[in-house]
Amino acid sequence: MRALTTALVLAWAIFLSGPARAAARLEPVLRLDLEGRWDENLLEDGGDLSSLIRPGIGGRLRAPTALAEFAYQPDGLYYGGGGARRGGINHRLLGLQEIRLDRRTELVLEQRFERAFDPTALTRPGVLRTTGEASFADLRADLAHRLDRTWTVGLQMREEVVRVEEAAAADGAVHAPQAWLSRRLGPRDTLTLWYRYQLFDGAGADASSHEPRLGWSRRLTHSLRLELEGGPARYLGGDGAAWLPVGRASLVYRRPELVLSLEYGRSLFGATGFPGAVWGDAGAAVAIIRPWRRWEAVLVAGAFRNGAAPDRPAFVVGWSGAASVSYAVTTDLRVRAGWRRIEQDQIREGDLPALGISRNIFVIGLSWELGRETRER
């Protein structure tokens, strides 16, 4: 929490200094989500009727060379019947600041802090470790400078911290500085070279990785974009050193009435409640369909598998899915119906026991907002 407070104070100090504070204007950001659910919660057999209340309060500060957004969004989840003891509040605090230091240089700061009694509510739960309370903090700083019309250089720092309230779990953190250099090869192509260092800090099982990657992106058509990146990662841990591949591939089609995306990635990550690092394969498909002016349908499917780094066999697999339809009654009010599912299975015993989950949630709800909420990553 101290790191989050320090980051927020630093971000606002930068934002309110110099030319950014000139003609600054503060706007409120208010939101309210109400849902009626049928929920297979994590501890009960069968399902429960439940309700979710999600108020959101925040603000947006605009200046000629900067934009800052902040929001607090708690989830109040209440079960009926035998599942009443699973009720509680998930807390979520979000921040985003975009500062244009000069015509060629931009600084972006992002903050996220979450504390959840329901671990499936965390933005990046990783391999779900427990049904107990967990906290997650994610802090990012991105500095980009355009050298000329074709070359751009950047620096990034990311901090992730997790606290899991279970005796067998390991609190941990990831410290990940990164540098990158990109060159535009023409109106359609960009080549980028990254180097990232990750220090996986946690419970006496510290490990690290060196990850050089080369990426290429191409605008295939006006609406279709392809991105590829990959490279070798050098993992250094308690069991010695090893090489393993990391990378990502994505294909995105984007038009006002239709968005389609496919993505696959393989990476090393920490801050999951397990000692050291975990490797992960993950794929996702998303479709956003707007057939008429007020209607929107969203379909999401994803799958993953994880194993202990650097190259232990996978010990857990899972998949998730979601589908929703919403209708804009007014500019600020939407009604929606949807379904969400998360499935996770431990496929082999080992040093990293995972939580078995099979959960469906069926939802009918409405959303009202005054001003766009802090953007999700």
What pLDDT, on a 0 to 100 scale, did the predictor assign at position 240?
75
Give the DSSP H/E element, type plus range, for residue 264.
strand 258-269
- Give yes or no for a contact between 359 and 50, defined as CB atoms under 8 angstroms apart: no
* b/e per residue 60-70 (b: at least 16 CB within 10 A): bbebebbbbbb
User: CA-CA distance, 305 to 317, in Å (whole number)?
Assistant: 4
Whether the CB-CB separation of 120 and 357 falls below 8 Å is answered with yes
**Residue 155: which of 214, 98, 201, 196 has the closest Cα?**
196
pLDDT at 331: 87
Nearest of 323, 368, 331 to residue 34 by alpha carbon: 368
- Per domain, the residue ranges of the chain are 2-370
CB 271 within 8 A of CB 302: no
Q: Quick one: 187 exposed, middle or buried, by C-beta within 10 A (0-12, 13-18, 19+)?
A: exposed
The pLDDT, as a whole number, for residue 131 is 62
d(CA 80, CA 36): 11
Which residues lie closer than 8 Å to 334 by C-beta, 6 or more apart?
326, 327, 328, 366, 367, 368
**Count of other CB atoms within 10 angstroms of residue 362:** 15
What is the per-residue pLDDT for 374? 46
| 272: Cα separation from own chain's centroid | 13
pLDDT for position 39: 81
CATH class of 2-370: mainly beta
Contacts of residue 32, Cβ cutoff 8 Å, sequence gap at least 6: 53, 54, 55, 56, 367, 368, 369
Walking along the chain (377 residues) 10 residues at a time, the average pLDDT comes out as 55 56 80 89 63 92 92 87 68 94 95 82 59 83 96 96 74 91 95 95 77 97 96 87 94 96 93 78 96 94 88 83 95 94 74 69 92 48
At 297 the pLDDT is 97
- How many Cβ atoms are within 10 Å of 242's Cβ, its own excluded? 14
